[in-house]
């Protein structure tokens, strides 16, 4: 294949995605704020850049997988160097979960430099990213989407196109993460209700996730919540709070009440306030056990 891509952001999700791109035959020029996280990719053939914009080449493609709006804005919105280096024909492929409003601002600024923008937020945990089994939502410039499709196919098991509105894919991503968060809260309450009535919460979870709720989210998250196992971390609780808040912000701008999202905001905020930011976001379930007066299993020193 031989094409060189820029890649910025090598965290829990970015690293396995970048590794899959190398295996697919792409050459990578990478940047990460913590340089040590990039080192394993260097042995796979990646080249390390000293600053974010240095990953770009004229008319090329830069992929970003960053934690939040602020990180994306710092690299691709407030600093024009990335646009200037990409120039006409270049593309910014953003895999980050950010607000639809930020995605639209990025697309508008990029267009002023002839740079295309494609939003491509993903569904899946790090193990799915490593296996190339992510689900990808796409929106943005039509021709840019055609060009980046082989890249997306390298790390995803399927993609869904939601049109040319740059913010559309991020709306879908926020809807999906809202549904996952509601499932976490619902399972936490159900498993705790079972425990409070003398039942083995793990056995109850096994029965329900093999029958009425036999789907990936209930099965994978349900087991973690039933066993109160919140480490290793696939998605940090602090990032879960960020996504719930983004859903609420988008709902407010759309004049769309979301009572459940408001409840989830308080649950996740409580978890962050109690020092659980760096546990898996399923650790929000600990708040349910506390409300029920149950002792918290000491699975982690921060639990």
Assign residue 175 the CATH number of its domain.
1.10.1040.10
Question: Do 11 and 131 belong to one domain?
Answer: yes
Residue 26 lies in a domain: yes
Active-site annotation holder among 105, 145, 173, 242:
173
Active site residue 242: no
Question: Do 113 and 182 belong to one domain?
Answer: no
Residue 159 lies in a domain: yes
Residue 136 lies in a domain: yes
Question: Domain range holding 133?
Answer: 4-164
Q: What per-residue confidence (pLDDT) applies to 157?
A: 98
Question: Do 31 and 123 belong to one domain?
Answer: yes
Residue 283 lies in a domain: yes
Question: Do 27 and 78 belong to one domain?
Answer: yes
Structure confidence by residue, pLDDT tens digits, 170-206: 999 999 999 999 999 999 999 999 999 999 999 999 9
Question: Do 188 and 160 belong to one domain?
Answer: no
Residues of the chain with confidence (pLDDT) below 50: 300-303
Question: Do 66 and 132 belong to one domain?
Answer: yes
> Residue 59 is encoded by which pair of tokens?
């008319």
Q: Which residues of 105-118 are buried (b: 16+ CB within 10 A; e: fewer)?
A: bbbebbeeeebbbb
The contacts of residue 43 (CB under 8 Å, 6+ apart) are: none
Q: What per-residue confidence (pLDDT) applies to 301?
A: 43
Residue 28 lies in a domain: yes
Question: Do 128 and 196 belong to one domain?
Answer: no
Question: Do 178 and 144 belong to one domain?
Answer: no
Q: What per-residue confidence (pLDDT) applies to 15?
A: 97
Domain boundary among 129, 164, 199: 164
Residue 296 lies in a domain: no
* Cβ–Cβ < 8 Å for 124, 98: no
Question: Do 90 and 208 belong to one domain?
Answer: no
In the block, tokens 């970015």 appear at 14
Question: Do 224 and 264 belong to one domain?
Answer: yes
Q: What per-residue confidence (pLDDT) applies to 231?
A: 87
């Amino acid at each position: 294949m031989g094409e060189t891509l820029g890649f910025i952001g090598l965290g829990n999700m970015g690293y396995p995605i970048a590794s899959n791109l190398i295996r697919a035959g792409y050459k990578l020029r990478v940047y990460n704020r913590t340089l040590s996280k990039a080192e394993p990719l260097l042995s796979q053939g990646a080249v390390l850049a000293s600053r974010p914009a240095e990953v770009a080449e004229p008319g090329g493609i830069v992929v970003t997988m960053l934690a939040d709006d602020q990180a994306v804005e710092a690299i691709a919105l407030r600093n024009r160097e990335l646009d200037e280096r990409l120039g006409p024909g270049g593309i910014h492929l953003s895999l980050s979960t950010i607000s639809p409003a930020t995605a639209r601002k990025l697309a508008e600024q990029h267009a002023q430099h002839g740079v295309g923008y494609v939003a491509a937020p993903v569904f899946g945990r790090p193990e799915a990213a490593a296996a190339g089994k992510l689900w990808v939502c796409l929106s943005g410039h039509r021709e840019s989407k055609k060009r980046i499709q082989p890249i997306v196919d390298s790390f995803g098991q399927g993609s869904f196109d939601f049109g040319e509105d740059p913010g559309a894919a991020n709306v879908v991503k926020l809807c999906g993460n809202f549904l996952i968060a509601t499932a976490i809260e619902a399972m936490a309450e159900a498993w705790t209700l079972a425990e409070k009535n003398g039942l083995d919460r793990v056995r109850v979870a096994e029965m329900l996730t093999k029958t009425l709720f036999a789907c990936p989210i209930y099965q994978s998250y349900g087991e973690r919540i039933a066993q109160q196992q919140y480490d290793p971390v696939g998605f940090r609780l602090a990032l879960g709070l960020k996504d719930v808040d983004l859903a609420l912000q988008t709902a407010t701008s759309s004049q769309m009440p979301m009572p459940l999202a408001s409840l989830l905001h308080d649950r996740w905020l409580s978890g962050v306030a109690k020092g659980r930011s760096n546990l898996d976001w399923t650790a929000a379930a600990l708040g349910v056990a506390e409300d029920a007066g149950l002792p918290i299993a000491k699975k982690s020193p921060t639990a």
